[in-house]
Every structure is written in structure tokens, then in C-alpha cells.
Amino acid sequence: MTDAPAEPAPSALRRTLGTGDAVVVGLGAMLGAGIFAALAPAARAAGSGLLLGLAVAAVVAYCNAGSSARLAALYPASGGTYVYGRERLGEFWGYLAGWAFVVGKTASCAAMALTVGAYVWPGQAHAVAVAAVVLVTAVDYGGVQKSAWVTRVIVGVVLAVLASVVVVCLTSGDADPGRLHEGVPGGAGGVLQAAGLLFFAFAGYARIATLGEEVRDPARTIPRAVRVSLAVTLAAYVAVAVAVLSVLGAQSLGVSVAPLADAVRAAGVPGLAPVVRVGAAVAALGSLLALLLGVSRTTLAMARDRHLPGPLAAVHPRFHVPHRAALAVGGVVAVLAAVVDVRGAVGFSSFGVLTYYAVANASAWTLRPGIAARMVPAVGLAGCLALAFSLPWTSVAVGAAVVLGAGVVVYGVRNVWGRRRGGPGGR
């Protein structure tokens, strides 16, 4: 006999991430291309109500983070809300959350890859996007510690670029605080739509929860990392939004293709625009890495329950990563990035992620009775539903068809097939 710690089971992941690593993963996902891509469409929707839309998105994100943190402390396993919904609400709701996450975030992965291509080499955006997917998949395959190290470098670069934009804009002679309120307000509907679009930029803290099996002391680490990463991201986004609005105003921001680059030009420092473009490409790369980490881990959890093909549940014996799930997700994303322009998938992805968090809040509602304990998940659930159905109608229609309709059909077919084979759902 020996007192040496047991090696992880062949199907288990290895707990190697500390609080700092988990915070970095969350920041890498949230401080990604969302702030570079979501400000302009949000400004078109909300007009001078943009900052109010950002506040609404932040409140919903805070409630979602609180619900996710409580659940992650109880269920520190890969899969995030897929696991929480399954354990608290039943198999179908967990499956729906997992399906919404995998489908919505796969589209987001392709969108982020194409964003890298558009900034690095616009004339060959698809080829660069595929190369970016291959690179990021290789990093993921090499182990979660390598992924965390790369993400740490990316987060440092992005924070430096965003800080430069804020300082240049706010210290410019062209900055005018009055521009924060200029323009026609978008009304309640416009503010909600802007909040739904901006939520795309906040949703990265889910990646921390989906890595539950790879975090040390998850009951303490995950809640702390979720709250810290969300707080840092919110502070950065408020500073960037105020700075950009002060030099562009809501109307000019709404029609901008590259709002942060346009803001530094308007502030009289055009030489910083190429740096901003590099920052956007690096941010998109970091977001792509965090997305692939999250989608592959949720795929692993669903494959374990036979909601997805069983071989995807394999864990590499040396690198302790879900290598088949990572390669499968990377392959699908590479194909999408090669043949389809899905940079307009922000709304569709937001619908899927809001569905995912609606299930998380409903799951957290069951944890403890009492009005005070249920206030956060109640506000989060109502906010998710309101934002999901205030998105552009095309996003709602496609999201309802693919995330809800197709998901229910696949679930039903799987159960029928499982019963014919003599088992509950094929498990």
C-alpha cells in the first residue's frame, strides 16, 4: 500500500487550474472581440440609451453569474449548466441548456475565427480563420495549463490596448461629455435589444463553470473567479463605452465598422488605429480559445450521457483533455469558417446563451426556499427571457428554430431510438 495520491481515472480530467488561472480564462472569453464588435449594433438599437443598455446587460450578467457560481460550488463537473439543469430540473432541461450552448457557441467560434481573419488579412479572411482554428485547437489539445498560459498573454495585450483607447479618447481635446446623451434614444425596446447584443460580450464567465473538473478546490475557486472576472470586465467595458461615446457620439458609433479604431482617429491619434486592429485580432483569438475550451467540455459532458456520440467522451491519457471532443469541435468550426460568413451570428449566439442562462437561473431557483435567496435567480431568469426575445427578429426566429425546435426534435428522436434498443434514451 502507498499514501501517494491516486492517478485520475482514464475518463477524468485533471484539476490543475487555480483561482488566477480561472479568472484569466473568464477574462479571455469576456475581454474578447465582443467589445470590438457589439458596441456599434448596440448603439444603432439604443441610440443615446446605449449606456443604459450596458447597465441592463450587466445586471442580467451579474444575476447569471451569481446563480452559476452557487451551482458550480455544488456540481464542480465539466458541462456547466448542462449538469446543473440535469441535476436540478431533469434530463430534458439539462440537455436543452447543453444543446443551446454547443450550437450557439459553435457559431460564435466561427464568427471569432473570421474576425481574426478580417483584421489580420481581409483579402484572405477565410483562410486565416481556418489557420486560427487549427492553431487554437492545437493549444487546447496540449492541455488546459497551456491554454491558460496563452490566454494570460492575450488578456494582457487586450487590456493594454483597451486602456490606451480609453486614455487617448478621454484626454483628447475632441472629447465632449455631452455626446454621451446626444442622439435619439431608442426607447425601451431599443435599450433591451442593445442589452441583448451587449450580453454577447459578457457571457464568457460560463467558460469557468464548464471547466469545473479542471479547477482546484472548485467550491471556492469557481464562484470567486466568476465574480472577479465579471467585475474587471464590467469596469473595462464601462470605461471603453464612455470613452468612445465621448468622441464619436451614439449616431456615429452606430454606423462605425471598427468603432474603437474610428474613436482613436477622431481623438487625433490615427497612429494608434493599427494597434487597435492588432488588439482586436488578438482579442478575437483569445475569445476563440476560451470558446473552444467551453464547447469541448460541454460536448464531453453530453457525450458521457449519450446525448452526443459516446466516443467524444474520451480523455487523453497524457494531456488529460477531451481530445476527441476538442478535435470534433475544431473540425466543425474550421469547416464553418472556411465556407460561411457567420460574423453576423452575434444575435443568434446571444439567443442560445440566454437560453442557457435561463436554465441556470431556473436551476438556482430550486436551491433554497425564501424570497431573498430566490431574488437573484428570479431577476436573472426574467432578464434572460426579456433580452432573448428583444433581439432582432431574425436572431429570434433562427434561434427558436435551431436552439429550441431542432433541439427538441433531436432529443425526441434520441429517446425513441433508445427505447427501441431497450434502454432509457440509449444510455
Q: What is the CATH number of the domain that holds 163?
A: 1.20.1740.10
| Distance (Å, whole) CA 427 – CA 380 | 33
Question: Do residues 135 and 142 lie in contact, with contact meaning Cβ atoms separated by under 8 Å?
Answer: no
Does residue 405 form part of some domain?
no
Does residue 317 form part of some domain?
yes
Does residue 427 form part of some domain?
no
pTM (predicted TM-score):
0.83
Does residue 85 form part of some domain?
yes
Does residue 356 form part of some domain?
yes
pLDDT in tens, the chain (427 residues): 433 434 444 456 778 778 888 888 888 878 766 788 788 888 989 988 999 999 999 999 889 888 988 898 888 887 889 999 999 999 999 999 999 989 988 988 888 888 888 888 888 989 999 999 999 999 988 877 778 888 889 999 999 999 999 999 999 988 888 888 776 677 888 999 899 888 877 877 766 777 777 888 887 888 888 889 888 998 999 999 999 999 999 989 988 878 898 999 999 999 999 999 899 889 889 889 888 988 999 999 999 988 999 999 999 988 889 999 999 999 999 999 998 776 566 677 778 888 999 999 999 999 977 776 789 999 999 999 998 898 888 888 988 898 889 989 989 888 877 666 554 454 4
Does residue 114 form part of some domain?
yes
Query: CA Rg, the chain, in Å?
Result: 21
Residue-number span of the structural domain to which 302 is assigned: 19-391
Does residue 415 form part of some domain?
no
Name the domain count of the chain. 1
Does residue 2 form part of some domain?
no
| Distance (Å, whole) CA 87 – CA 93 | 9
* Burial class, 5, CB count within 10 angstroms (exposed 0-12 / middle 13-18 / buried 19+): exposed
| Distance (Å, whole) CA 71 – CA 158 | 30
